[in-house]
Amino acid sequence: MNTFIGTFIFLGLSFCSIAHTKWNFTSTNPHNLKDSYVVRANSVLTNYYQKSKFEPKPPKLQTGKKYKKQQPSLKQKLVFQDDFSRKELGENWITEWEKAKGSSYGIKDEKLWVDTQGGISVWLNQKLPQNVRIECTRGIVVEGKPNDRLSDLNFFWSCQDPKFERKSDGNFAAYDSLALYYVGIGGNYNSTTRLRKYDGRGERVLWQEKNDKAHLLTENTVYKIVLEVRKGQVSVWVNGELYFTQKDPNPLGGGYFAIRSTKSRQWIDDIKIYELLD
C-alpha cells in the first residue's frame, strides 16, 4: 500500500512539473489563490479549437421562393437616386395624368404623393441601361378620403419611348402601343397581380399572375419593391419575396421607368436605380 501511495504521489508531482513547464504558469499574487496563476496557453487552445470538429458553423439560410431575398449584384453602379427631400418634383420627372377636380400630385413630407381620380404615370426623364435594378418604397393610404382605394400599385420599366414625343393624358390604354415591362400589384380593385410584356404592336402579353390573397394589397402597408432585368431575366420582388421571374427570349433594350397608378392615394420614396455590370 505504501508503495502504491508513493507511486501515485510521484506521478502527480511529475504531471504538475510538466504542466508548469509546458504552460508556463506565472505567479502573480501568492497571497490570493484566485489570481495566483495565469495560464498562458492561448496559442495551444486556439490551435486546438481551430482544428476541432466542434468549431461553430454559421446557420444555414432558408431557401425557397418564400424566403428568397433580393440579392444585390456583385457588380453594380448607382445611376440615379431620389429621396424627394425638397419641395418641387423638378426636371427629373415628367407627369402624364388625367386631370380632374380633386386630383393632385407633388412632394409632401419628403415623399412623392399621387392623389388622383384617374390614371397617372410619373416618368423618370432619364434613359436607363438594359441590365438594371430599380428599388423603391411605396404605400397606398386608405383612410376614407375621396380618392382612397386599395388598388393599382403599378410600374412600367424598360419602356422604348425616346424623347416622350407621344402625348398622353395618363389613360391606361394610351400605352398599349409601347414596348415595355409592366407589373400591376393589386389591380382591378385589388383582385389581380400580373406581370406583362407590352410588345410594341398593341399586344399586352400576360406572362404570369398571382391572384391569391397573399399576393394582393393590404391597407396602409409599406412595400419595398425591386424590379430587375438581368441578361433578359425579368424579376419582381415585393418585401423580399420573389413574386415573378421570367426569361425574355427577346429582351428589351435600355429604356424608361415610370411609377404608374389610377384612382387611389399613394406615396413613393427612396428610389435607387443601379446598372448591373456582372
Task: Encode pLDDT of 230-251 as tens digits.
Answer: 999 999 999 999 999 999 999 9
How many C-beta neighbours within 10 Å does residue 270 have? 15
Q: Say what the pLDDT of residue 62 is.
A: 31
Query: What homologous superfamily is domain 76-276 in, according to CATH?
Result: Exo-inulinase; domain 1 (2.60.120.560)
Name the E strands within the chain: 26-27, 37-38, 76-82, 93-97, 104-108, 111-116, 120-124, 132-140, 153-159, 179-186, 192-199, 204-209, 222-230, 233-238, 241-247, 256-261, 264-276
Biggest alpha carbon–alpha carbon distance for the chain = 110
Q: How confident is the model at residue 173 (pLDDT cuts 50, 70, 90)?
A: confident
DSSP label at residue 60: P
Which one is predicted more confidently, 62 or 101?
101
Inter-residue contact 116 to 264 (CB < 8 Å):
yes
At 13, is the pLDDT very low, low, confident or very high (cuts 50, 70, 90)? Answer: very low
Q: Within its chain, how far is the Cα of 184 from the centroid?
A: 18
Arithmetic mean of pLDDT, 77-100: 96
pLDDT value at residue 49: 37
Q: Which residue has the cell 510538466?
A: 18
- How much is the pLDDT for 233? 98
Provide the phi-psi class of 111: left if phi over 0, else alpha when psi is between -120 and 50, else beta. beta
Q: Give the residues across from 117 on adjacent strands.
A: none
Residue 265 has pLDDT above 60, yes or no: yes
Q: In the chain, list all ranges with CATH 2.60.120.560.
A: 76-276
Mean predicted lDDT score pLDDT of the chain? 81
**DSSP secondary structure code for residue 11 in this structure:** H
What is the pLDDT averaged over residues 19-29?
40
C-alpha cell at 133: 435594378
Please state the φ and ψ torsions of residue 213, each to the nearest 5 degrees.
-55, -35
Among the ranges given (83-97, 164-178, 210-224, 260-274), the one the predictor scored with the smallest mean pLDDT: 164-178
Q: Which residue has the higher pLDDT, 100 or 57?
A: 100
The answer to whether residue 48 scores a pLDDT higher than 70 is no
Alpha carbon distances (Å) from 31 to 26, 34, 38, 118, 184: 14, 9, 14, 87, 78
Q: Give the residue with greater pLDDT, 168 vs 112.
A: 112
- Of 157, 124, 175, the closest CA to residue 248 belongs to 157
- Distance separating the N- and C-terminal Cα atoms of the chain: 79
Rg (CA), the chain: 32
Q: Which residue has the cell 457588380?
A: 75
Which helix (H) or strand (E) element contains residue 65?
none
Q: Which of 33-37, 191-195, 266-270 has the lowest mean pLDDT?
A: 33-37
Residue 169: predicted pLDDT: 77
Strand partners, 107: 112
Kindly tell me if the per-residue pLDDT of 120 is higher than 70: yes
Q: Output the pLDDT for position 74.
A: 63
pLDDT at 33 over 70: no
Percent of the residues in the chain that have a pLDDT greater than 70, as a whole number? 71
